[in-house]
């Protein structure tokens, strides 16, 4: 009987040379040409891509929406320049500190770029209110005016008509209605034609926290401002972009003026307009007292709650509101 030979052991393949099953390209399932694939609802980079030509047709580019943005300056507002000059005398800057602030501006080489109305802030003094803030008048730095406000307001050396009404908004920290200086003598005839004595209702808060409607009499008038009207320079060294200063376009529209509904309030408004126009016709047999005419700009408060583009409301500021 023949012996059965032992089985031959299979040759083992090393792990690195183990054959792998490969799938050829021809073995993949082909998609017929007439098959339309449904669009996928999942987002992808390819689906988010839009052809620039198609996007331009859908959303045409408008240069008005491409606005300048900067964390240091806002268009239509005063720039706030920062210097660091320690003040050993406290929050109030002395004359020597103001001169040192001007020297810092000269060292930075930006004096020729400054315009009237720019705000310079000495950050070494502090951040409370308008402490350390100065106004450039075209040649020197001047302090804010504290006659009618404890936090500081725009000084009378700057003509408010040359700048937008909101030019110093959020640059000078003002609580309530800001102060502005205007010369209304060129509009005295129009103010005299539109003046009227009317009743106004305002809400006042009592010390107990209750609100009451109070009826008061006021003298109200209005006039039109056109931006192409030229103005005389405020200072001989003042620069307004190298041209004769004119009324800013933001003031163009109707301006309403309110004064107290008393004889004193009417006399104050008459003095602001000058003696070129009588606000009220004199009665027969009554001698009209000649009031001193205004010599230039007078002080008003801009009523923010009532003002809107093309319609500005001003209130006459009397001497009894003076703080200092």
| Average pLDDT of the residues in 218-222 | 94
The answer to whether residue 209 scores a pLDDT higher than 80 is no
Distance linking the first and last C-alpha atoms of the chain? 137
Give me the pLDDT at residue 89, please: 76
The answer to whether residue 28 scores a pLDDT higher than 80 is no
The answer to whether residue 246 scores a pLDDT higher than 90 is no
The answer to whether residue 256 scores a pLDDT higher than 80 is yes
The answer to whether residue 247 scores a pLDDT higher than 60 is yes
pLDDT band at 21; cut points 50, 70, 90: very low
* 1: its two tokens: 């009987």
Q: Give the number of other CB atoms < 10 A from CB of residue 211.
A: 9
Torsion region of 138: left, alpha or beta (phi above 0 gives left; psi -120 to 50 gives alpha): left
The answer to whether residue 57 scores a pLDDT higher than 60 is no
- Secondary structure (DSSP) of 268-285: HHHHHH-TTS-SSPPPTT
pLDDT band at 102; cut points 50, 70, 90: very high
DSSP state of 292: P
Look up the pTM and report it.
0.67
Say if residues 78 and 168 touch (Cβ distance below 8 Å). Answer: yes
| Average pLDDT of the residues in 18-23 | 46
The answer to whether residue 239 scores a pLDDT higher than 50 is no
Give pLDDT tens digits for 34-53. Answer: 444 444 444 433 343 344 44
Which residue ranges make up each domain of the chain? 80-143, 182-321
Lowest mean pLDDT among 90-94, 114-118, 158-162: 90-94
Give me the pLDDT at residue 106, please: 93
Average pLDDT, the chain: 75
Give pLDDT tens digits for 155-195. Answer: 888 888 888 988 998 899 888 899 999 889 889 999 999 99
Residue-wise over 222-253: b if at least 16 C-beta within 10 A, else e? bbebeeeeebeebeeebbbeeeebebbebbbb
Give me the pLDDT at residue 42, please: 42
């Amino acid at each position: 009987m023949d012996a059965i030979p032992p089985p031959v052991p299979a040759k083992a393949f090393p792990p690195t040379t183990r054959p792998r099953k490969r799938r050829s390209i021809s073995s993949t399932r082909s998609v017929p040409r007439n098959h339309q694939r449904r669009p996928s609802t999942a987002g992808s980079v390819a689906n988010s891509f839009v052809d620039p030509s198609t996007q331009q047709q859908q959303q045409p580019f408008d240069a008005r929406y491409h606005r300048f943005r900067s964390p240091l300056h806002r268009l239509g507002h005063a720039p706030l320049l920062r210097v660091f000059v320690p003040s050993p005398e406290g929050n109030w800057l002395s004359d020597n500190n103001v001169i040192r602030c001007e020297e810092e501006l000269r060292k930075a080489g930006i004096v020729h770029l400054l315009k009237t109305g720019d705000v310079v802030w000495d950050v070494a003094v502090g951040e409370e209110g308008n402490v350390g803030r100065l106004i450039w008048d075209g040649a020197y730095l001047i302090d804010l005016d504290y006659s009618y406000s404890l936090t500081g307001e725009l000084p009378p050396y700057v003509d408010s008509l040359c700048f937008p009404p909101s030019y110093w908004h959020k640059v000078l920290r003002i609580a309530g209605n800001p102060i502005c200086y205007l010369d209304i003598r060129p509009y005295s005839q129009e103010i005299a034609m539109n003046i009227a004595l009317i009743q106004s209702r305002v809400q006042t808060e009592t010390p107990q926290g209750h609100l009451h409607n109070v009826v008061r009499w006021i003298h109200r008038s209005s006039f039109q401002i056109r931006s192409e009207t030229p103005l005389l320079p405020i200072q001989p060294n003042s620069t307004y972009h190298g041209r004769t200063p004119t009324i800013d376009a933001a003031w163009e529209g109707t301006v309403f003026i309110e004064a107290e509904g008393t004889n004193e309030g009417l006399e104050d408004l008459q003095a602001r307009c000058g003696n070129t126009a009588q606000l009220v016709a004199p009665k027969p047999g009554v001698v009209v007292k000649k009031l001193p005419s205004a010599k230039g700009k007078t002080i008003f408060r801009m009523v923010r709650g009532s003002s809107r583009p093309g319609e500005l409301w001003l209130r006459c500021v009397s001497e009894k509101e003076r703080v200092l």
